[in-house]
Structure 1
Amino acid sequence: MSEQPNVDYGDRGVALPNEILRSVVGSGVHGIAIEGTDDHDEMGVYIEPPEWVLGVERHREDYIWRTQPEGVRSGHGDTDLVLYSLRKYLRLAIKGNPTVMLPLFAPEESLVVVTPLGEELRSLRTAFMSRLAVERFLGYMRSQHERMLGQSKRNVPNRPELIEKYGWDVKYGSHALRLAYQGFEIASTGSLSLPLPDRERARVLAVKRGEVDRDEVSAEISRMEDAVRTLLDQDRSPLPHTADLDRISAWAIDTQRRHWQWT
């Protein structure tokens, strides 16, 4: 039987030579990876050629590469890479996608590729922060919380090895609690700390190791969600309602012109 190939979607010859930013994402950048259990995730941004942006032919707006074949869950030692075109990346970041936000706030040691244009993009990080981003973090948190409790109606990945060992999926629990902490930090300060601050990091790791009862984790997630909702509903968050579209758009236009060497 022939070996199944890696996943490889998109135009590698366009994406990789035009990368401006890439960082580790997933558990690694949050500081909650457990040796021997987690895969390796990276996300980045590339600038499309002008004919792709201005022409009539449609092209993929991302490049995806995985060591595992289609339909196989990544595990320890596997790598997942996603590169987004600049325009797609900005659209996702403006909406507050939690994973897409990570390269903007990743610490220096988590950066894989960063060009001067990538540094400019990272310097724009506060322009993407908004109450809409907080709502998106809460949405992802609720999704993980439901999966943790076995209440999701979606066809979601199953980790029978965790359920057999702990009685519930502790990885969903750790994701949900992390998102709750981060949603509160963004709502209260307008920023995002990566990796997680020491206290929150220790707590999330304890959940991930199965050291905390599921009901206790669920109650803490709910308390954090209530705290975030109070900040937003009482207008106590420093964040604007939406991202700074004018600033982001002006930078995107200027950046593409400079990358293409158009005057």
Structure 2
Amino acid sequence: MNVLLSGIVGSTAYGLAHEGSDIDRLGVFAAPTHAFHGLHRPPESHVTTVPDSTLHEAAKWCRLALGGNPTVMELVWLPEDLYEMRTAFGDELIGLRRSLLGRGRVRNAYFGYATQQFRKLQSRRSGASSPEVRGRMEKHARHLIRLLEQGQELHSTGELTIRLPDPERVRDLGAWIADRPERAEDFLSRAEHLFDQPGVLPEQPDERPAQDWLLRVRAAYYTPEPVGEAVRSA
């Protein structure tokens, strides 16, 4: 694989990691261009659990980012020290990150993912006496707060802060909400109200920079295959 950009994401990047936390890695790679010319397209993602790593093919990564996917979006907003691989194409991808943002998609993705965390909180509350379940509830609550605050930041400023300025506050909120999951409703309601107000983002992302970048990636990784025997004999 031709890895273009990769780095450490997840709890380590947020500043929420604890002893025993997994280190999550995310990256973008370019499949050889000739691989798209046959009967079967190359794999769009490579995922491993030991270590925890996800690599998305360039086109898939762009589609996910243009859709506002919060996990994918982290990769182009990481602090400098969390990048493990940066190529010229990776730097270009970081440079076009703002063009990937659209108001409706950011709202739907970040608010939608936070709402999913709320549902998970509610579904687990009957087992909250179990230390394992309690730990998961606190994790869902932390993700809910983080997603809402990151989404609101993007909506209001067009910027995304990955490393939380006050991770202890988010940990404390996670425990507080896990005690009574309905406490999250106020956070969701306030975020929904903000998302309904005018922000700095365009209504839709601009796909043109991503399209231009992807075409240049395809050109750079195109190596013509040798002509087959049947073609030569013809």
TM-score bin, normalised by smaller chain = 0.7 to 0.9
- How far apart in 2 are the matches of 1:168 and 1:102? 22
Q: 1:228 aligns with which of 180, 191, 197?
A: 191
SS of the aligned residue for 1:32 comes to: coil
Structure 1 unaligned spans of 5+: 1-14, 68-78, 153-157
Which structure has the larger Rg over C-alpha atoms? 2
Cα deviation, residue 46, structure 1: 0.4
Q: What is the aligned partner in structure 1 of residue 200 from structure 2?
A: 238
Q: Normalised by the size of structure 1, how large is the TM-score?
A: 0.76
Tell me, which stretches of 5 or more residues in structure 2 are unaligned?
Answer: 225-234
Task: Calculate the TM-score normalised by the size of structure 2.
Answer: 0.85
Alignment check: 8 A CA contact 2:76 2:93 kept: yes
What one-letter code is carried by the residue in structure 2 that aligns with 1:233? D
Q: Distance in 2 between matches of 1:213 and 1:252?
A: 42
Q: Which residue of 2 aligns with 1:123?
A: 95
- Map of 1:90 onto structure 2: 62
Counterpart of 2:15, as a letter, is G
1:140 aligns with 2:140: no
Identity across the alignment (%): 30
Cα root mean square deviation, aligned = 2.5
Q: Is contact 2:152-2:195 (8 Å) kept?
A: no
> Whose helix fraction is larger, Structure 1's or Structure 2's?
2
Q: How many residues align?
A: 221
Q: Does residue 104 in structure 1 map to residue 76 in structure 2?
A: yes
Q: Counterparts of 1:1-263 in structure 2 under 5 Å? A: 15=1, 18-36=2-20, 38-67=21-50, 79-131=51-103, 132-150=105-123, 160-163=130-133, 166=134, 169-198=137-166, 201-208=167-174, 210=175, 212-214=176-178, 218-219=182-183, 221-234=184-197, 236-260=198-222
Contact 2:118 2:181 in 1 (8 A): no
Match of 1:7 in 2: none
Amino acid at match of 1:161: P
8 Å contact from structure 2 (residues 7, 75) kept in 1: yes
Pick which of 253-262 and 23-32 moved more: 253-262
